[in-house]
Structure 1
């Protein structure tokens, strides 16, 4: 068959010349200076009608971004103590290790300039633009170059190619900061020569807390841990492609795998460079109480925005020509079209600016102050206009405009009038009830005697607490399913937070599936000029021409286009725009938010075909699922797909259009892996669909007789990285055993005799950094790696998980997988694949979280790469991924009654659109400890502590993490009981809001991730920890504390109606064997699996009608499906189980449990209120807590 190629040079990945893929029309269209009014009506049609609407381009400009390769690889976890940072001190610094934490620093950025659309005025009138002129109160000057929305424009050819090389031309600037030692309470100035703003790299712990220790430090003995020295080294993972590669690969007949010839390639180089040491920001002293007027003036004068200063982003892990990747994600460096500035206004254009770093003037206290309007006072009668999340209700189009309120202070120019809308400084009159101590005690503060009241579990699922806001703000607030805070009443100071002994943090589910989502197509995305916050329902309009940011309090101009509301077809009502009526919106971004054409959807499947994999039988399920869902893969006409298989060699598949059958190309030199035919291994899905189907039909039988027992996973991943580097995309890896050949080979580290240890659990961290380095390289090229581990033996998931953890991928684990011997796992894989292959996906994404001035973020949890101080790089984002954030209070919030949080997720859709999804959450500020407890969200607190405990387990020990979880309960209840009056020391009292706290913590301690004394496989434990770090709250809580229902007595009395279906609603049962009866049948919902336990004496009518068998003895051991029987009890049971399944993305499998079933052990281990040999019962746990409190 002859050699496939000779003198071939494979793509180097970073900075190589790459093919140009066409972008959909509309992404690079010219925007006219003027548009007729009729065109404006189309601006928001995407909110109601499906279909593609072009996003008009603004000033497209290729930028020269700064690139600093130095990055700090974290060895800190969730302590708030900054690492040692220069100076002469040689004292050790305490810390811990985290896969998702970082240190907050700031750094100088490089800038590019864009023409501003609102810089010059013209003589034309508003009427000439076709707008209805209906205001007698405001002069409405028109500016030239205003961008008006339109539906379609003549497309312009997309410019630029993937992998375009940029040059680094700027370095971090010199700044000033101090080193703080939290243990000695000393603050040491760093010598000027050592002062720098340092870019933050891979997963370091952000340290921005005040001199008062944060809540994690104050939970003594809690999740703070001792810190190890960091090596400050990162892998650049560059690939040297400077020399041509001479290689020969055999073109093997498709049906005869096995013939191989040696091949060689350039060796992947690994370059380490030390990162500069870091130090924390100097602590902020609590602000002195001052008048709201003065506070407002100072906030606007400096335009300050805590913890969102621009930071120099580290370059991707590659060669020196990697600035392209840095610039590619320029999310919000885009032209700021929300305010009038000079046409040469500098705009950040690197990663930080992408999602919108601050402007240069916002980082200098010497910048010119902006005009300072007087403090606004809204009458009690005026109310904000808006509706509930997330639909756009038709009624508000006919709402009566509010009456302007006269100013109470002479701070404004006489020509301006106050514009009524609820905002941070306008709501004091309508926020009654925030100070709970002066009113009737709320239900959330009702004392509960935990040792006396045994029935604390509610009959239905625990709802998220409702923030104590007025009804109008409540309707506008973000859904807790997307954005949730551990405390719905934010303490005024860090000292008050420390007294409460509760963590402050956010739980995010930013990309979740939504049934209704306002989608906004506009050439103007209105944002704050200072902190880059997107306009939202919680800003305030001073008048028709100015709005005040609810995060940094800067006053901004209202763009001309924003004055027109296409939904009401009216002019002069900016407060009625959809952006200001919905806390969750999605913008169609213009080309200003792109630095290359949107990438196509690219999918690469890397499949283990060793003897172990063939025996397990997973290939048949995977190939069949792909065949069934091939047409449902998210994408457009540019979608590309490829396949790699591996055992002791690596096999590629040529699927180029025109071939009669797929060609297998085998590379046996795994120590020097290369791509035999780079141009034909990733093919267009639509053009080569028949060849792809032929391959999927043949793959399960191609390796039936293989005797290869080795696994060259590392070389296969290296090849996959090279293949995906030019475009980015998603790599799906299927692995069935421990990698045993080539790069990344692993050895068994598990001692089966130590699985039940009550002391030390070892090897929770990776054995090698190969997979982490590879993941960081993939992240730099916008490629995520998803891992499917189908293993019957130890596979060192602690090491393999790094490939997904640091590339923003996801992990699926199927222990003891076998297609025929374990049908439950086989069914689970099939259902998971259906969801995985068809769910929506976002490519080349970045996410930033902003918060009100005075608050700061110091630790992230989840699967991602930290690109800069508060910017997360997500090569892929999926709707099933969750994130957690720890926060602290840097400055006193005495001068504000509300705080807001906003997350912005910029991504490329599978259709090639650049989109920005924005969520905004508003919460009240309180000054009393009782109010803090009243607003505690116990489920959010537990989920955040679970994330923190995982990091503590890896950085310190499992025993330390367990102790810290127990101490979290002890400390918080001790603090509460010390503030409550008339409490007897013999009682264990908790506020009603925290009555489930001890129960949930006990459930957490009995999870596979943290339990001891029970035989737990190391891979099972590590997978549980991975789930804790990446699951959204709603799914994580099912995993921690399952729901138990009795279903043999379902009736039509307590039901709900869902569409045309009647769904029974049985009450929740305690997770205790005392609730089980031999005469009953019980369903346990564990999130990813349903257990249906049947008692030995269960009614035969139920068994016959629901299970389809005449009696208990005839029910099979491995039953996973309920038959459709025409009986009321069968219909009720199936309706209830279907309703539970419909509430989550992954469809859980059902497993019927009998007394002699081996799975009975798993079922009873979830009964967390019962005692086991190595763990307390719930009542014993309460007594232990009470004993520690009384010490």
Structure 2
């Protein structure tokens, strides 16, 4: 074959690391192909022939006489167009392969997809997917628009794991040709990759316009940290206060720079080109802020209202009878004790206090030279005061011995408690008084409904309201105290995190207001019982990771955008202090935020810039500014809007918007809103792009959006039902508004694997980590009576066991003689000395650790003929099926088509 340097004019060769071969590109037409241009019959890089499905011909896992049904070859897919045939590759494409059980995430979401998975074809057999068509702005060729017919194209979940459509900025948009100039999508992404130049064009396209942010996302062990500018030289626009970034322009011989947001010319700081460490002239172009879309500045003193306060934790621990009986008190104390070394305390500045509460408040003095703590009881919860506050809030390092003694003995202090009741409100007031001058974190662990003092709640859930228009009232706060107190905490930069354990109604809707307005987190463990090892394992893992997570304090966040764009609405856990200033008492890891945008005036610039700045204090007392910058081209072409749309970001927008609509209107209105957004988009696409009758067409990069919307409608957060407790709905709402998209998408679109006949390499360590099985469509028609299946949504894992599962399968996976000996429910899967058990455990281990966040999904074993409620819960993950009051995917598409075709639309 001809060598790459022997190319005809206009062609160039690029080495493709994924396929280990050259990719040839025609610079003029944009055509890409695998075969050398001088060879005959080039193989186009982005075309793929669909092949007929074949039976699984992998070798049997067990001998025929032991388990014929367990291992017999079966046709894995009934539809020839799904899944793509590249599932036969040794590494399953479309799923992260860069993790092994027990190891942290290795790469960012975007990098995983870029490095591991080839692009999926836009068309079927024999169709050329040319990536470019026509000239775009500034001579840049825009994305080509490819349509798919949803009625005949099965959903391909691999599309959800691909990166968003590439951003095609005009040449010279960034001053340095750096691949890191634009923020990684895991930090900031937009619902469209090309911004409409006019509001009328945006309205005509019906594509929502919003940003999805995760400014403090976690980093894997091998990921480089965010670059830090340490010289405290910060260049900002005098008019709009935008930070200098890769998309500014230097003018007047480099002495001034032009802001990319408001076009103001600004002076370059005198020390911008000076190396203060070595006292020599520095290379301007080596400064991180000119080549990186995400960068941090060490803030000078003018960014500080006061000296940075130490990281402070106040643990409010329920010590009532319900907390003791469930084992929550013992589990919480043990977890704090075992994680004292993991709490951020680099400069030995961290302070800690522990306050117990039931019908009274219990304060514990922790003297540095004492090994035995003393307890002070305040029984008057109507007039809270702090006894000896200086001995209650202590330095973690100095009072370590006393703190360890208290955590070891605290459960025994209340072991015989029969007290029923909770003065949570007064406990919150006491904790606030303790740290209101410095700010910090209040961590609440409670196992009962607040019943005494300020903030007392009633068990207001009425089963007669469930499934009715009045159900939304149960999802709103039952007492104004929780919102007003949260706002008071926000002003004092006090963050509240809630860990909820009640076995009965706990009013999650009211209690979650505290984390919502103070930038905290809510964790819910319904029916927690420490006697179940699975409950303890989940809580201990999540609470331990929570304590170990680095956190920013005293946070102020602004989102700036180019002239002509307006930030209209904000979603997430924060308090909106002014029209564009988000006050965050803390900046937790892996929280997500959604900002809706409006086009106020015609945009004439070839590209626009968005910038998010987070001013915060680190756990080691350093004031920093994290700046995230994203530049997007503008367009007057509606086809380019569709071709650049990001279905994952749109799904995150819909989830947040649905929560907002539920709280301000009704659940039914939220469902109608989701349906309307999808219907409007499909109708606009038909009118402006295809106009083909008998089809339900959408851009290839949006083909999963209708299924994501259906998953949202079928989710416990929105699903019409009179059987869903309001606490579960309210908790789902908190997750919708905080989960990063990498975990939110499986929460809406779960994953479904067949384990009993997975290829032999699945569950083993491959070149890039544990190999996952190929995913099945989310439909129960793929369930077989002899099979073993795994369903997971990122927060819960179900292991479905068919009623005809053979004894050998039961022995190899569960160490049980037969199906009848298996019990359903929460389960700890044994790791047995056989290959199949080890492979199944490896798959489960990878699923638990491959996504960002502290969550540890518990495992439920579901028997085919087992408990009906557990079966229905597991089957609800198969969102392509029909439900009691919800349509199947094909019925949903039919409803959308009928709405579009009706005269009223």
Question: Is TM-score (shorter-chain normalized) higher than 0.5?
Answer: yes
RMSD between aligned alpha carbons?
A: 2.6
Partner of 1:934: 643
Q: Distance in 2 between matches of 1:1101 and 1:571?
A: 73
Partner of 2:92: none
Q: Distance in 2 between matches of 1:429 and 1:940?
A: 24
Q: 1:1027 to 1:1084 in 2, by over 3 A?
A: same
User: Cα deviation per residue 1:236-270 (whole Å; 9 max; x = unaligned)?
Assistant: xxxxxxxxxxxxxxxxxxxxxxxxxxxxxxxxxxx
Partner of 2:518: 807
Q: Distance in 2 between matches of 1:389 and 1:765?
A: 36
> Is residue 2:281 matched to residue 1:581?
no
Partner of 1:525: 234
Q: Distance in 1 between matches of 2:282 and 2:350?
A: 44
Q: 1:1149 to 1:599 in 2, by over 3 A?
A: same
Query: After superposition, where does 1:502-513 map in structure 2 within 5 Å?
Result: 502-513=207-218
Shift of the alpha carbon at 1:1061? 6.4
Secondary structure, aligned partner of 1:687: coil
Q: Distance in 2 between matches of 1:765 and 1:429?
A: 48
Secondary structure, aligned partner of 2:554: strand
Shift of the alpha carbon at 1:1033? 1.5
Aligned pair partner of 1:1123 in 798, 809, 830:
830
Partner of 1:623: 333
Partner of 2:742: 1034
Secondary structure, aligned partner of 2:158: coil
Shift of the alpha carbon at 1:589? 1.6
> Is residue 2:849 matched to residue 1:1139?
no
Secondary structure, aligned partner of 1:1159: helix
Partner of 1:1013: 721
Task: Give yes or no for contact 1:544–1:573 (8 Å, CA) kept in 2.
Answer: no
Q: Distance in 1 between matches of 2:844 and 2:247?
A: 40
Q: 1:569 to 1:680 in 2, by over 3 A?
A: closer
Q: Distance in 1 between matches of 2:705 and 2:136?
A: 32
Aligned pair partner of 2:685 in 971, 976, 981:
976
User: Cα deviation per residue 1:769-820 (whole Å; 9 max; x = unaligned)?
Assistant: 1111111111111111111111111122222111111111111111122222
Task: Give yes or no for contact 1:950–1:1025 (8 Å, CA) kept in 2.
Answer: yes
Q: Distance in 2 between matches of 1:648 and 1:759?
A: 33
Task: Give yes or no for contact 1:428–1:897 (8 Å, CA) kept in 2.
Answer: no
Shift of the alpha carbon at 1:547? 2.1
Shift of the alpha carbon at 1:458? 3.3
User: Cα deviation per residue 1:577-622 (whole Å; 9 max; x = unaligned)?
Assistant: 2221111111222222212111101111001111121111111111
Task: Give yes or no for contact 2:146–2:643 (8 Å, CA) kept in 1.
Answer: no
Secondary structure, aligned partner of 1:744: coil
Q: 1:916 to 1:390 in 2, by over 3 A?
A: farther
Q: Distance in 2 between matches of 1:1171 and 1:993?
A: 25
Partner of 2:319: 609
Shift of the alpha carbon at 1:1037? 1.2
Partner of 1:271: none
> Is residue 2:257 matched to residue 1:547?
yes
Q: Distance in 2 between matches of 1:460 and 1:730?
A: 36
Q: Distance in 1 between matches of 2:550 and 2:616?
A: 12
Shift of the alpha carbon at 1:557? 2.5
Partner of 2:559: 849
Q: Distance in 1 between matches of 2:658 and 2:159?
A: 29
Q: Which has the larger radius of gyration?
A: 1
Q: Distance in 2 between matches of 1:1078 and 1:950?
A: 38
User: Cα deviation per residue 1:1001-1023 (whole Å; 9 max; x = unaligned)?
Assistant: 11101111111125100111111
> Is residue 2:185 matched to residue 1:480?
yes
Q: Distance in 2 between matches of 1:687 and 1:828?
A: 31
Shift of the alpha carbon at 1:1084? 1.9
Greater helix proportion: 2
Q: Distance in 2 between matches of 1:1152 and 1:615?
A: 26
Partner of 1:699: 410
Task: Give yes or no for contact 1:607–1:735 (8 Å, CA) kept in 2.
Answer: yes
Task: Give yes or no for contact 2:160–2:648 (8 Å, CA) kept in 1.
Answer: no
Task: Give yes or no for contact 2:592–2:738 (8 Å, CA) kept in 1.
Answer: yes
Gaps of 5+ in 2: 1-108, 113-134, 172-176
Task: Give yes or no for contact 2:216–2:589 (8 Å, CA) kept in 1.
Answer: yes
Task: Give yes or no for contact 1:1042–1:1086 (8 Å, CA) kept in 2.
Answer: yes
Task: Give yes or no for contact 1:866–1:873 (8 Å, CA) kept in 2.
Answer: yes
Shift of the alpha carbon at 1:468? 2.6
> Is residue 2:199 matched to residue 1:494?
yes
Q: Distance in 1 between matches of 2:765 and 2:230?
A: 36
Q: 1:1100 to 1:484 in 2, by over 3 A?
A: farther
Task: Give yes or no for contact 2:463–2:722 (8 Å, CA) kept in 1.
Answer: no
Q: Distance in 1 between matches of 2:874 and 2:684?
A: 36
Task: Give yes or no for contact 1:662–1:694 (8 Å, CA) kept in 2.
Answer: yes
Gaps of 5+ in 1: 1-387, 392-426, 437-441
Q: 1:896 to 1:881 in 2, by over 3 A?
A: same
Secondary structure, aligned partner of 1:762: helix
Shift of the alpha carbon at 1:646? 0.9
- Larger CA deviation: 959-968 vs 572-581: 572-581
Q: 1:1056 to 1:697 in 2, by over 3 A?
A: closer
Shift of the alpha carbon at 1:848? 1.0
Shift of the alpha carbon at 1:870? 1.1
Q: Distance in 2 between matches of 1:708 and 1:666?
A: 14
Partner of 1:178: none
Aligned pair partner of 2:778 in 1063, 1071, 1076:
1071
- Larger CA deviation: 450-459 vs 655-664: 450-459
> Is residue 2:569 matched to residue 1:859?
yes
Partner of 1:433: 141
TM-score w.r.t. structure 2 length? Answer: 0.80
Q: Distance in 2 between matches of 1:389 and 1:1041?
A: 19
Shift of the alpha carbon at 1:918? 1.2
Partner of 1:1051: 759
Query: After superposition, where does 1:362-381 map in structure 2 within 5 Å?
Result: none
Secondary structure, aligned partner of 2:161: coil
> Is residue 2:380 matched to residue 1:669?
yes
Q: Distance in 2 between matches of 1:940 and 1:918?
A: 20
Aligned pair partner of 2:596 in 864, 886, 889:
886
Q: 1:459 to 1:996 in 2, by over 3 A?
A: closer
Query: After superposition, where does 1:723-762 map in structure 2 within 5 Å?
Result: 723-757=434-468, 760-762=471-473
Partner of 2:98: none
> Is residue 2:853 matched to residue 1:1153?
no
Q: 1:758 to 1:1127 in 2, by over 3 A?
A: farther
> Is residue 2:149 matched to residue 1:449?
yes
Q: Distance in 2 between matches of 1:567 and 1:725?
A: 38
Secondary structure, aligned partner of 2:596: strand
Shift of the alpha carbon at 1:512? 0.9
Q: Distance in 2 between matches of 1:942 and 1:1104?
A: 42
Provide the aligned length of Structure 1 versus Structure 2. Answer: 757
Q: Distance in 1 between matches of 2:167 and 2:296?
A: 24
Task: Give yes or no for contact 1:1050–1:1132 (8 Å, CA) kept in 2.
Answer: no
Aligned pair partner of 1:946 in 634, 647, 655:
655
Shift of the alpha carbon at 1:1164? 0.8
Shift of the alpha carbon at 1:683? 0.8
Task: Give yes or no for contact 1:565–1:576 (8 Å, CA) kept in 2.
Answer: no
Shift of the alpha carbon at 1:637? 1.3
User: Cα deviation per residue 1:353-375 (whole Å; 9 max; x = unaligned)?
Assistant: xxxxxxxxxxxxxxxxxxxxxxx
